[in-house]
Amino acid sequence: MARKKAKEVSIDHLSAMRALVRIVELGSLSAAARELKVATSTIARKVSALEEMLGVPLLHRSTHHVALTEAGNLYHARAVSMIADLDDTLRVVAELDAEPSGPLKLTAPVAFGRRYLAPLVAPFLKRYPAIQLDLRLTDNHNDMVTGGFDLDIHEGENYLDNLIVQPISRNDSILCASPGYLAQRGRPATPADLAQHNCLRYLHPEGDPRWHLSNGKTVHSVLPQGNLQSDHSELLLEATCAGLGIAEFEIWLIRDLLVSGALEVVLPKYRLDNALTGRQIYMAYLPNRRISTKVRVLREFMAERLKGIGELPEGLAGKVPAGERRKR
């Protein structure tokens, strides 16, 4: 079917755009009309005027249901983004000379959130009491647009397309074990020695089950073998501290245990590479959140307090030969 040519029509385009978005989100013209406190006929006229101006139908209408046409799908997707950008700009301008306020939605991994973000919630909200913080902890990457997230803290580089990123820290991983286990079973000197040890394995559907250890240009790939595997890093950490075996962890998860001596680095001359967790811990946000005052103060607050958390503590750095440490 040939499409009508777009024509000039007198229309409040922004109002019609908002009406169409609410119709789609609520599922009917009448529901959108009730929310917007106007007559259903008024909502219908807005959509009709929009379709007449564009020269294409945007909605398939029935008595109890509406559905987007092909053109409607394209228009709706752009409209949602444009309205979000506009609303965010209006909020930012209003915030320029005001105290940061309003809802602020943050997401982070579960273990990371419990260890590092939970202690920071109260200090942040005491400093900015007009902000309403919504903190969601998950080990899956959320869609920041559909989830309405302002800031995402995660390790790894696999999810950063179309986002602005700010590195917080390197994200180093090491092999470690308890002093008791190493005293009983011995300390491996090379990756090949791991075959004689009980290795505790972390499972992830997208992860490589092997441990990749490098010394200079030589890379050794080892498939860990042992009597425990799990998809829960904190469970493996409990078992490692109890002296069950050798396991791989990111530094941020075990910093305090390394400092206290509860865990020791295994194979300190070798660097451990993990493509799943990546080399950096990032804060990521959408381009339209770049100038938001409340997002900026949250980023600055977190960056100051989380700096370097994924790196080997200074007091232990000397135990790892300088040539094998990752360069800053």
pLDDT in tens, 16-66: 888 888 888 888 888 888 888 899 889 888 888 888 888 899 988 876 678
Residue 320 is predicted with a pLDDT of 45
Greater confidence (1 vs 269) lies with 269
Task: Check: CB of residue 293 under 8 Å from CB of residue 301.
Answer: no
What does each C-alpha distance from 70 to 1, 21, 45 come to in angstroms?
13, 15, 21
- Segments of the chain assigned to CATH 3.40.190.10: 102-171+278-306
Cα distances from 162 to residues 70, 75, 165, 167, 283, in angstroms, run: 24, 20, 10, 16, 13
Q: Specify the fold of 13-95.
A: Arc Repressor Mutant, subunit A (1.10.10)
Per-residue pLDDT at 318 exceeds 50: no
Q: What are the helix and strand counts (H, E) for the chain?
A: 11, 15
Output 293 or 182, whichever has higher pLDDT: 182
Q: Give bridge partners of residue 271 from the DSSP assignment.
A: 214
Residue 273 reports pLDDT greater than 60: yes
In this prediction, residues 74-83 reach a mean pLDDT of 87
SS3 (DSSP) at 242: coil
When the pLDDT of each residue in the chain is averaged and rounded to a whole number, the result is 85
Give the lowest-confidence range in 52-56, 136-140, 144-148, 186-190: 144-148
Please state the φ and ψ torsions of residue 314, each to the nearest 5 degrees. Answer: -55, -40
Question: 233 vs 87, which has greater pLDDT?
Answer: 233
Q: Which of 21-35, 142-156, 179-193, 263-277 has the lowest mean pLDDT?
A: 142-156
Among 67-76, 122-131, 244-253, name the one with the lowest average pLDDT.
Answer: 67-76
**CA dist 205 → 4, 78, 202, 276, 315 (Å):** 50, 34, 10, 10, 35
User: What is the structure's pLDDT at 12?
Assistant: 84
Residue range(s) occupied by CATH 1.10.10.10 in the chain: 13-95
Query: Does the domain spanning 173-277 belong to CATH 3.40.190.290?
Result: yes
In the chain, CATH 3.40.190.290 sits at 173-277
Supply the pLDDT for residue 315. Answer: 63
Query: What is the CATH class of 102-171+278-306?
Result: alpha beta
Average the pLDDT over 188-214 and give the result.
91
Percent of the chain with pLDDT over 70: 88
